[in-house]
């Protein structure tokens, strides 16, 4: 379980080199997707082979006429390596191998097609070898759901320790021991034994060693590599990243920091929310407040209505509810509801300082209700960034995936990782102080933010389940059978819209300050005039 820039991939490349040169055998190298595997082969594996004489002699260049060497398959005396994606069940189960390398396992899909956990499929390939070798590496993700964290806890749980430069006792470098407030350019680490502080270079000059929590588990060795021990990133750089994430990046940036820099899982906030707590987020405003820089909208489709929320966004993804609307009518037959939606999305909103704001991006649910009508509506309005979306659950699904064309209409369709977005939204609802990630709502119920809205916003709870194969997965379930979750879905789609747009809030805020109020206008393209 490793942080970024700690040599994780380099370790795997050295294992590969050893297996080719010293102990040749069949090798299966699994990546989250075949595209990532192909990029790795071109950018990391090929240069390693080319720059290592003993490997260059045994593995032919891809450009040679020999079919023994392709981007995803390479043969050498006594063995071969096949590079596959975890989303390809046929390739995972196609051949027995002695060595299995699995990279970034927290990014694997929950199931390889319909075949189940891709790691389990791959591990079956080594069962016929008494001397098999299985390597799993990854940065971690969510607590209780991270596969690499689970595998690490099953093993020896070895951590890196340095002797304290002052007292000589072993110390595992941890973020909590780092002291940087007021000295960001030269942080120090305090020894938990003697209480004395030492600078980074003094710690890193020590001869460290691995110490296992469970040395008796020798058949399953596991290691934790924090970014604090990396020779390629300094402590001042880590401190700078942390401060930037906390002050302007919000919850998402902090999770990235904990996962990729400290190699720690991120504790997802409990999904229980008291309605009384959200009442405290209500404020008196009838127009978008000054902090709003961009507007997005999310649209949920039901058999007898459309439900829409317009959301304002500011620096650090601070958000303001602007309007919640329900348009009654069958979306499959009643074109009037689509006209009402189009009128709302064309509307311009006057900010508190007189600036005009347009909805910059819209996500409309296309899964299950009036799909063809959604595609037709969005296809004609893609120049206004009105897009069809479809939710997909499961671990490893990004918030917003690369779009594709769908239906006869060839509409642009974005797949959303709804589990990820809902977890992010619930975490944002928990933020108690205005600033990054905080959610505001208008006090007036005329804007649509009444009791039913907040009941719907909190209609689901997060449940962690264990599958029959032992894997952990998240499921979002309604609190009661009668709960209406359309407000939650609308906010999810509006959140996906700001993720698609990915605006530079600081630049927008800076440009807005420079322009005279009367002549300033933010268009849907995000350009300020």
**What is the chain's alpha carbon radius of gyration, rounded to the nearest angstrom?**
26
Region of poorest pLDDT, from 3-12, 255-264, 378-387:
3-12
Q: What is the mean pLDDT of residues 95-99?
A: 91
Higher-confidence residue of 276 and 123: namely: 123
Least confident window among 396-400, 426-430, 447-451: 396-400
What's the rounded mean pLDDT across residues 192-201?
A: 96
Listed residue (351, 364, 335) closest to 492, CA to CA: 364
**Mean per-residue pLDDT of the chain:** 89
pLDDT band at 396; cut points 50, 70, 90 = low
Q: What average pLDDT does this structure show over 84-104?
A: 88
3-state secondary structure of 309: strand
User: Are the C-beta atoms of 418 and 492 separated by less than 8 Å?
Assistant: yes
pLDDT in tens, 329-351: 999 888 999 999 999 999 999 99
pLDDT at 520 over 70: no
Q: What is the pLDDT of residue 272?
A: 67
Query: Which tokens belong to 376?
Result: 């037709």
Give the separation between CA 297 and CA 347, rounded to whole angstroms.
Answer: 12
Q: How far apart are CA 19 and CA 35, in angstroms?
A: 24
**Res. 254: pLDDT tops 50:** yes
104 φψ region: left (φ > 0), alpha (ψ -120 to 50), beta (else): left
What is the model's pLDDT at position 92? 83
Q: How far apart are CA 31 and CA 23, in angstroms?
A: 23
Give dist(CA 214, CA 158) in Å, integer.
8
Structure confidence at residue 54 (pLDDT)? 95
Q: CB-based burial of residue 289 (10 Å sphere; 0-12 exposed, 13-18 middle, 19+ buried)?
A: middle
pLDDT category at 432 given cuts 50, 70, 90 is confident
Residue 194: C-alpha distances to residues 118, 134, 166, 175 (Å): 47, 40, 8, 18
Out of 64-68, 173-177, 233-237, 452-456, which region has the weakest mean confidence (pLDDT)? 64-68
Say whether 411 sits in a helix, a strand or coil.
strand
Q: What are the contacts of 467-473 at 24+ separation with CB within 8 A?
A: 467/117, 469/116, 469/117, 469/120, 471/110, 471/117, 471/147, 472/144, 472/145, 472/150, 473/110, 473/145, 473/394, 473/395
CA dihedral 109, 147, 32, 159 (to 10 degrees): 170
Of 312, 302, 224, 231, the closest CA to residue 263 belongs to 224
Predicted local distance difference test score (pLDDT) of residue 36:
93
CB contact at 8 A, 416 and 403:
no
Q: Look at residue 268 in the predicted model and tell me its pLDDT.
A: 66
Q: Is the predicted pLDDT of residue 514 greater than 80, yes or no?
A: no
The token pair that represents 306 in the structure block: 């459309």
Residue 282 bridge partners (DSSP): 441
Residue with token string 């304290």: 164
Span 463-511, pLDDT tens digits: 777 666 556 677 788 878 778 899 999 999 999 999 999 999 988 888 7
- Among 137-151, 223-237, 508-522, the minimum mean pLDDT is found in 508-522
Residues 46-73, mean pLDDT to the nearest whole number: 83
Structure tokens at 85: 């994606």
Range 39-61 average pLDDT: 92
Terminal-residue alpha carbon distance, the chain: 48
pLDDT (mean) for 85-92: 84
Decide if pLDDT at 20 tops 80.
yes
Contact 212, 156 (CB under 8 A): yes
How many Å apart are CA 268 and CA 55, to the nearest integer? Answer: 44
Q: Give ∠ CA 119-402-315 in degrees, rounded to 5.
A: 110
Q: Which pLDDT belongs to residue 437?
A: 92
pLDDT value at residue 481? 75
pLDDT tens digit string along 108-144? 887 776 677 889 889 999 999 999 999 999 999 888 8
CA-CA distance, 66 to 106, in Å (whole number)? Answer: 35
pLDDT given for residue 97 in this prediction: 94
pLDDT for 518:
43
Residues belonging to the chain: 529
Q: What is the pLDDT of residue 67?
A: 56
Residue 51 confidence (pLDDT): 95
- What is the dihedral angle through the alpha carbons of 414, 415, 421, 423, rounded to the nearest 10 degrees? 180
Residues 93 and 115: beta-carbon distance below 8 Å: yes
Residue 519 has pLDDT above 50, yes or no: no
Res 517: pLDDT:
45
Confidence (pLDDT) at 277: 78
Beta strands 348-350; 356-365: pairing state: antiparallel
Plot region of 425 (φ>0 → left; ψ -120 to 50 → alpha; else → beta): alpha
What is the DSSP secondary structure assignment for residue 111, as one 8-state letter? S
């Amino acid at each position: 379980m490793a942080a970024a820039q700690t040599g994780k991939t380099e370790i795997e490349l050295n294992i590969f080199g050893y297996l080719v040169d010293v102990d040749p055998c069949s090798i299966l190298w699994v990546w989250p997707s075949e595209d990532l595997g192909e990029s790795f082969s071109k950018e990391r594996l090929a240069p390693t082979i080319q720059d290592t004489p003993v490997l260059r002699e045994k593995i032919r260049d891809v450009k040679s006429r020999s079919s023994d060497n392709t981007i995803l398959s390479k043969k050498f005396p006594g063995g071969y390596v096949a590079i596959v994606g975890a989303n390809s069940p046929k390739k995972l189960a196609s051949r027995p191998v002695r060595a299995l390398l699995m990279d970034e396992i927290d990014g694997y899909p929950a199931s390889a097609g319909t075949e189940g956990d891709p790691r389990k499929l791959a591990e079956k390939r080594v069962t016929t070898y008494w001397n098999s070798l299985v390597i799993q590496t990854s940065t971690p993700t969510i607590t209780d759901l991270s596969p690499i964290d689970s595998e690490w806890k099953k093993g020896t749980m070895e951590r890196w320790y340095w002797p304290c430069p002052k007292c000589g006792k072993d110390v595992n470098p941890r973020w909590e021991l780092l002291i940087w407030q007021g000295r960001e350019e030269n942080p120090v680490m305090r020894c938990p034994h003697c209480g004395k502080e030492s600078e980074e270079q003094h710690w890193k000059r020590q001869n460290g060693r691995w110490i296992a929590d469970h040395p008796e588990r020798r058949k399953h060795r596991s290691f934790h590599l924090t970014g604090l021990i990396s020779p390629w990133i300094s402590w001042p750089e880590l401190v700078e990243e942390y401060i930037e994430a906390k002050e302007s990046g919000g919850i998402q940036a902090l999770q990235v920091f904990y996962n990729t820099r400290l190699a720690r899982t991120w504790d997802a906030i409990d999904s229980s929310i008291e309605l009384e707590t959200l009442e405290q987020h209500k404020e008196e405003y009838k127009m978008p407040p000054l902090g709003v820089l961009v507007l997005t909208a999310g649209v949920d489709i039901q058999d007898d209505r459309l439900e829409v929320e317009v959301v304002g966004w500011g620096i650090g993804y601070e958000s303001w509810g602007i309007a919640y609307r329900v348009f009654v009518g069958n979306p499959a037959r009643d074109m009037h509801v689509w006209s009402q939606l189009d009128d709302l999305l064309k509307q311009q909103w006057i900010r508190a300082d007189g600036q005009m704001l347009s909805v910059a991006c819209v996500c409309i649910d296309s899964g299950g209700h009036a799909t063809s009508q959604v595609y037709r509506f969005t296809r004609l309005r893609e120049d206004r960034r009105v897009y069809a979306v479809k939710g997909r659950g499961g671990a490893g699904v990004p918030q917003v995936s690369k779009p594709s064309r769908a239906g006869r209409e060839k509409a642009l369709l974005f797949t959303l990782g709804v589990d990820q977005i809902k977890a992010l939204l619930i975490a944002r609802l928990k933020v108690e102080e205005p600033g990054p990630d905080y959610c505001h709502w208008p006090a007036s119920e005329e804007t649509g933010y009444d009791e039913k809205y907040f009941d719907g916003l909190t209609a689901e709870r997060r449940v962690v389940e264990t599958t029959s194969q032992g894997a952990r997965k998240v499921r979002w379930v309604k609190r009661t059978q009668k709960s209406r979750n359309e407000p939650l879905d609308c906010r999810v789609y509006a959140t996906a819209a700001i993720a698609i747009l990915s605006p530079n809030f600081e630049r927008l805020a800076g440009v807005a300050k420079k322009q005279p109020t009367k002549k300033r206008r933010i268009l849907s393209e995000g350009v300020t005039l």
